[in-house]
Each structure stands twice: as C-alpha cells, then as structure tokens.
Amino acid sequence: MSEIRNAALAPSGAKKIDWVRERMPVLRSLEEDFRKEQPFAGMKIALSIHMEAKTAYFATVLKSGGAEVYATGSNVLSTQDDVAAALAERGVEVFAWHAATEEEYTHHLRCTLEAGPQIIIDDGGDLVNLIHNDPSLRDLLPGVIGGCEETTTGIIRLQAMDADGALAFPMMLVNNAQCKFLFDNRYGTGQSVWNAINKTTNLIVAGKNVVVAGYGWCGKGVSMRARALGAHVTVTEIDPVKACEAIMDGYNVLPMAEAAKIGDVFVTVTGCRDVISTEHFALLRDGAILCNAGHFNVEVNMEALEAYAVSKEEKRENIMGYLLPNGRTVCVLGEGRLVNLACGDGHPAEIMDMSFSIQALSAKYLAEHAGARPAGQRTIRVPAEVDREVAMRKLRYMGYAIDTLTPVQEKYLGSWNLG
C-alpha cells in the first residue's frame, strides 16, 4: 500500500537507520518502554517528516507503541528513497518519493490523512492545514485527539489559527520545549552550519571575517562555533538588547551596510527576509561567501541577486559564483536554502534524539489525555515533566548523575516561594 520509488533500495536505507538508531539512546529507551506499554494501541498516527534516517527511526518508535503509522515527506527535496523503502519494509505505510511534483506531494499528504489518524505529527503545518481546509477531509477532524508541531513556522501558523478559533484539536508546541530549542538551535545549528560550509568550501575559518546576521539562539550557536574555529565574528542585529549581548560576548556589531564591506563569509539566521539584498551586493568583497541557515531561502535575496548579477557559474558543487557589475564575484552556497540541509546532512542524531523524544512523549501525552479536550486555547505547551524526563534519560545514557533536593532544602525553597 506504501507509495515509494523503489523497494529494492531498502538495504541501503536500513543501514542508515541503524547507524542513527545507535546514536539515539533516549528514543531507543522509549522504543523499549512503548513496546511494553503500548500507549498507541489501536490508534493511527499520521506523520509529515523529512524522510531521512533520524525521522524514519522516530516513525518506527511510534509503531513500536502499537500505532499504525502513516508517513509522508515534509519536503520533496529532503526525501531519501532508500530510507522510504526501508521504512516501508519495517511496517510503516510510506507515501513519499524524492522530487515529487506539487500534485504528488499533496496526494501523499492526503494518503496519510485518509487513514483517519487520532494523532498528527506535523512539520511546518501542511497536514494540519490540509485536514482543516480540504472539504473531503474535514469529516476526519472529530477523530483527531491532537497533534504535535516541530517547527517555529508551523507554530506561528497554529497560533494564528488558534487565535481565530479555527483550530479543531489541541496541538502541542514541540519547538518550544526546552529540550528542543535549547539544544537543536544552539548546538545543532551551530555545528551543522559549519560542517556544511567547511565541507562545501574546504576553506580555513581561522582568521576569516565571518558575519552572522541575527543573534537569537541559532545566531548564538553559529557565532560561538565560528569564533571557536578562529574566525573574527561580526554580528548584525535589529534588537538592541541582543546587540549588547553580542558585544559583551566578545563579538563586533555592525549594521549590515558596514558588515557587508568586510565579511569573508556571511550566515543569515534572522527569521526575516532580504537580510542581504540589493543595497548590499555592490559592497561585498570579491570572493565573499553567502549562506543562509535561518528561514526558507529568503534571507539572502536570491531573486534580487539573480537580477543584479551579470552572469553566474558553478565554482564547486553547491557553490554558485555570481559575477557582479563591479567585476567582483560572490559565491552563494546551496542556492540560499538552509545550508546545513542543502549542503550537509542536517542536525546530528544525538540532537534529534532529544527533539524526537519530546515528540514521542508528547504524542503519548495526547493519547493519555484523549478525553480531556480543552475548551479554550488549543495550542499547548509541552509539560515540564516531559522536558525533565527526556533530559534525565539523556543524562543517564551519557553516564551522568545529578543532585536531588534534601527535605530541608525543599522546605527552604518552598518558604521562599510562599513569601
């Protein structure tokens, strides 16, 4: 019933899944628990995920909890056909192939929903959007207990729906869990961006002028690793408090119009568009390298660059050189898309171990609270206990132990909190 490209690719995909499985001990421990507890017995779960090894393993963990799992790829370019084949072979219903057309993509989304899921795991909001807006699917809404959303973008969409009273079931804001954003954005993005840049360019980072646009969690991670590799880091910001933090952290701060003149490498992580755009191109040094790790492919204004450049030429794999009217060349990595995905393998497995464990326990939480549909706000924070549980398991598998409060200390803190 799965719709995949080629079932014969399964062995290659299986090897990839097994490699990451060994590096995801928290999720592995949940797999074991779920096998015993069967929290999803009799349920169907629909997933929209990047169809690659780490997410595929996550899908099998849900299955081990008793669910029938229906999965599609959240991005047609990130879908790996061998992983899809291996996942199908392991008993998940998979509807996805690499480079699907728009029409095929929507068809695949629909396939997962038509199964009539109780739980929806979404990545960007496409599943939730479709089930709410497609008349042929709306009948399925009452059957849905709730769902989880992985991304910032998806959460913004959900909160808008929630504000309009348009959200039919509760959605857990996985991205806002501590074990997600504190780790994924700082350590995950921080390292994977430089993995990707280094792999693609093979240039030295030490001594380079690196410009990081945006000093949120991602920007902090990217800046920290840039300096760690020996770069001279300049941060651009629109928030003065974050700019002060960057200065106190030892970085230079400049407006982009100044930073543009000195940067050797630029990384945008602002969540906004046109961060590097027409007014900056002519200022860039010859050979400057531009890449984005923030938001879709709009932070470096590629459209404007295409229009402005005299010509373009591929310099190395994933590096496009744009010849500018002033005779200089600027190099864009991965077409301005998320550089750690377009030019790398995404976040390391150990990071996703925490994010997907939050997902798995959030799904379990939904299953356990199936009857209790909240009246008011339907976007729900992941409970602190879930964060705590994931972190405790992570510590244990890394071999660490921590302190607990003595009764005297508990009483002392309690007296504080009561004034």
Per CB under 8 A, contacts with its own copies among 316-375 are 316, 344-346, 348-351, 354
* CB nearer to its own copies: pick between 59 and 341: 341
| Count of Cβ atoms closer than 10 Å to residue 230 Cβ | 12
Q: Which stretch binds its own copies (CB under 8 A): 73-81, 95-103, 151-159, 304-312?
A: 151-159
- With binding defined as CB under 8 A, does residue 419 bind its own copies? yes
101 touches its own copies (CB under 8 A): no
- What's the token pair of residue 395? 């510590």
| 359 close to 148: Cβ distance less than 8 angstroms | yes
Please return the burial class of 355, using the count of CB atoms within 10 Å of its CB with bins 0-12, 13-18 and 19+. buried
Question: What one-letter code names the amino acid at 121?
Answer: I
User: How many C-beta atoms surround the C-beta of residue 72 within 10 A?
Assistant: 31
285 contact partners, CB below 8 Å, separation of at least 6: 261, 262, 263, 264, 328
Q: Which is nearer to its own copies, 375 or 408 (CB)?
A: 408
Q: Tell whether residue 253 is a contact of its own copies (CB under 8 A).
A: yes
Q: Retrieve residue 92's tokens.
A: 């998940």
- What is the 3 state secondary structure string of 165-181? CCCCCCEEEHHHCHHHH
Q: Which of 33, 114, 249, 303 binds its own copies (CB under 8 A)?
A: 249
Identify which range of 60-68, 97-105, 141-149, 153-161 contacts its own copies by CB under 8 A. Answer: 153-161
The yes or no reply on residue 134 touching its own copies (CB under 8 A) is no
Span near its own copies by CB under 8 A; candidates 70-78, 86-94, 109-117, 407-415: 407-415
* Span 8-67, contacts to its own copies by CB under 8 A: 15-16, 19, 22-23
Q: Which two tokens stand for residue 394?
A: 């992570």
* 33 or 104: CB nearest its own copies: 33
Strands of the sheet containing 44-49, edge to edge, are 93-95, 68-73, 44-49, 119-122, 146-149, 171-173, 379-380
Task: Say whether residue 402 binds its own copies (CB under 8 A).
Answer: yes
- Spatial distance between the Cα atoms of 86 and 97, rounded to a whole number of angstroms: 13
Q: Residues 6 or more apart from 134 whose CB is under 8 A from it?
A: 110
CB-nearer residue toward its own copies: 1 or 206? 206
CB of 34 to its own copies, least distance (A): 21
Two tokens, residue 190:
């921080």
Contact residue for its own copies among 11, 42, 143, 230 (CB under 8 A): 230
Site string for its own copies, 271-310 (x = CB under 8 A): xxxx------------x-----------------------
Please report whether residue 395 would count as binding its own copies according to CB under 8 A: yes
What's the half-sphere exposure (Cβ side, CA atoms, 13 Å) at 231?
29
Quick one: which segment of 35-43, 101-109, 115-123, 181-189 binds its own copies (CB under 8 A)? 181-189
Q: How is residue 381 annotated by DSSP?
A: P
The rounded distance, in Å, linking the Cα atoms of 91 and 69 is: 8
One DSSP character per residue, 303-355 reads: HHHHHH-SEEEEEETTEEEEE-TTS-EEEEEGGGSBHHHHSS--S-HHHHHHH
Q: Is 392 in the site for its own copies (CB under 8 A)?
A: yes
CB of 247 to its own copies, least distance (A): 5
- Among residues 29, 151, 198, 297, the one that binds its own copies under rule CB under 8 A: 198
Residues 79, 51 contacting (CB under 8 angstroms): yes
The residue type of 116 is G
Tokens of 380: 């729900």
Given 8, 241, 307, 375, the residue binding its own copies (CB under 8 A): 241
How many CA within 13 A on the CB side of residue 263?
34
Question: What is the radius of gyration, based on Cα positions, of the chain?
Answer: 23
- The least CB distance from residue 391 to its own copies, in Å, is 4
The interface region with its own copies, picked from 77-85, 133-141, 174-182, 371-379 by CB under 8 A, is: 174-182
> 59-98 mask for its own copies (x: CB under 8 A)?
----------------------------------------
The binder of its own copies chosen from 11, 143, 255, 325 (CB under 8 A)? 255
Q: Does 110 bind its own copies (CB under 8 A)?
A: no
Least distance between its own copies and beta carbon 201 (Å): 8
Binding of its own copies by 157 (CB under 8 A): yes
Please state the closest distance from residue 289 (CB atom) to its own copies, in A.
11
Residue 406 within binding range of its own copies, rule CB under 8 A: yes
- Alpha helices, DSSP H only, in 171-255? 178-183, 189-201, 217-228, 240-248
Is the CB of 63 or the CB of 280 nearer to its own copies? 280
